[in-house]
Structure formats: structure tokens, C-alpha cells
Amino acid sequence: MDDLSRPSLAIEGDLAFSEWTCHEDIRRHGRSVVERLDCESGFSVVRSHVSSARVLTEACQHEGTERLLVIAFGLAGNSEFHDQRGKCLSFAADQTTVSVFQQGCGERSYAANEPVQQLRLVVSESALMRYIGRERCRQVLGMALAGHESFRQIAFHGSHTSEHLRFFRTPRVARQDGLSQRIHALSLLAEQLKILAPPAERAEQLKARDMDKLQHVEAYMRAHLDKPLNNAYLCTALGISEYKLKECFRQAYGTSPAQHLIEMRMHRAREMLAAGYQVSETAYRVGYQHPSNLSSAFTRFFGCTPKSVRGKRE
């Protein structure tokens, strides 16, 4: 892992962190840009953008006396990391890859003609322990890495888009004030840690029966994205109280049914647009009566217009 991917070792409590460190590598057939924001001691945010007309590979090395938790959000494109033993770690658009690194060498690879954008949260073990305590830290990181392990994958799942992730997707994020950047970075980390290691009291609240109800509601939402869904509609259609509906989403995702529905609609819209569907047809399919309403919502959510992601329909 290169220097820009390591968390800051600055003095703990220093509130002066607000500047992004940028490294740009321009080659004959491609370009890579890596930006790092040191939020505080042991915690950094890293943004990377790589594009190349040919298959691009780059050697990298990671070493240290303590483990690093790396939470990588795929924003666009796909890439892979291979260690010296050939073990592979994959990164993909709209997926979150969570891993633990300590020391070793490897190689990153990027496909030709496929821009790759990623956002990483890099947290040292000591910082993680400071944030969530020894027990939850052990729960997140697991057992110590064995001698033959340069890294260990913890999770690979669909990204749950939030306002904090959207904040770091915006091109002008570096112009925001340092306090806002730190708040969004720590909030995004907190969201992911709740998924990886839920606090005991919350994990116990959502019973198996409630999980079944939640999955049933999500399946219904997914199948009826074109309908005017709201809490009252869902409660009537599925025979669930509004209190239970809200509690299931709050406990499972820390969000509301309405916000979860927006995320579903936006991701479905992006899939359809990438497949070549017109903005107007996509709008109706995901519950918007007017294409302009979808365009506004899509731009707020992803930070880009629907037309910018539209592909050719086969």
C-alpha cells in the first residue's frame, strides 16, 4: 500500500487536518490521481481515479507494526489486488470491499478503457480501538493475520449509499471546510462499523421475525418501484404497523423506509440508464411522473446527470 493509502501518524487531537495530499501519475497511455485527507491520527480518507487505454498494473507495498482496516467503496469501474501468493481482492462499482492489511507486497491491476474511481477509509488498529473499544475492535478485525497472510477480506457487499458517501463523491469536496470533511468521514466510518459489528443492544433488538418482515417489505419495494409507495401504502399492502415498519429500517440500516426506497430507485435507475434506456422511460419505471424529477433526484444522489451514465441499448 503506497504512502497515500496509509493513515496519518500526526499528533492525536490536532484539529488542523483539512488539506488533501495529491499525487498524480501521468503515463503515455493513462493517468492516475490519488488524493488523501488525514482526518486525525490513524484515520485517513483516500480518493483514487485511474484511467488507461491499456491494461494497467502497479506494484504496491504495505507494511506496519499494526493492522489497518481498509473500507473501499467502488464508485466506478473494477480493479483487483493480487498479493505475492496470488490471493486476490476484488473491487467493483457500487460494491464495498472491507479488508485488513498489515505487511506484504502485491500488485494492483486495472482493465483498459474502463475508468476506475474508488473511495477508501483507512483506519489503524489503535485508532479503531479508540473509536469503538477493544471488544468491538476485535470483533471487526478478527484474529491476528497468520504469517502467510498479507491481507484478509472481511466483507464484500452492495454499497448502502448515504449522504456521507455522496459528500465524498462530489468533485469539489476539497473546497468544503475541514470540519465538514471530518464530520462526514467519521460518520461514514460509523455507518460501516454498525454493519460490520453492530452494538450489542441494537443487534439483539431486531429479532428473526422482524428480519423476515423487513426482507418482505424490501422485496415488495423492489417489485413495485413504479408505484407511488409511501408508509401508509406499504402498511396497508403488507399488513404491518407504521411503528414496526419504521423500527425495522431504523434498527437494520439506521434510516427511514422513504430514504431506503430512494436508494433502491436510484440504483435501479442507474442500472437501466447504463443498459441504454431513455431517461423518460427510466423515470416511469422507478416511480417518477416527470423525467425532470428523476434527473434532479439522480443528480443530487450520485453527483452526476442521468445522461452522463447512459449507455447504448442493444
Give the H/E segment covering residue 184.
Answer: helix 178-196
Rounded distance between C-alpha atoms, residue 192 and residue 56, angstroms: 30
196-217: average pLDDT: 72
* DSSP result, 56-87: EEEEEEE--SS-EEEEEEEEES-EEEEETT--
In the chain the domains, ranked by start, together with CATH numbers, are 3-197 (2.60.120.10), 202-309 (1.10.10.60)
| Greatest distance between any 2 Cα atoms in the chain | 61
Cβ partners under 8 Å of residue 254, min gap 6: 191, 194
Best mean pLDDT range from 109-113, 203-207, 289-293, 304-308: 289-293
205-210: average pLDDT: 70
309: pLDDT strictly greater than 60: yes
Per-residue CA distances from 282 to 96, 191, 193 (Å): 25, 30, 34
Residue 18 confidence (pLDDT):
56
314: pLDDT strictly greater than 60: no
Parallel, antiparallel or unpaired: strands 43-52 and 56-62: unpaired
- Which of 252, 211, 217, 259 has its CA nearest to residue 238? 217
**85 falls in which pLDDT band (50, 70, 90)?**
confident
The C-alpha cell at 162 is: 448515504
Q: Name the residue type at position 137.
A: C
Residue 56 confidence (pLDDT):
83
**Is 196 within 8 Å of 154 (Cβ atoms)?**
yes
- Which of 169, 122, 152 has its CA nearest to residue 5? 122
The C-alpha cell at 59 is: 506494484
Question: Tens of pLDDT along 24-65?
Answer: 888 777 888 999 999 988 999 999 999 888 888 888 877 667
Calculate the average pLDDT of the chain. Answer: 84
Radius of gyration of the chain (CA): 21
Question: Tens of pLDDT along 125-134?
Answer: 999 999 998 8
Question: Tens of pLDDT along 103-112?
Answer: 778 888 888 8
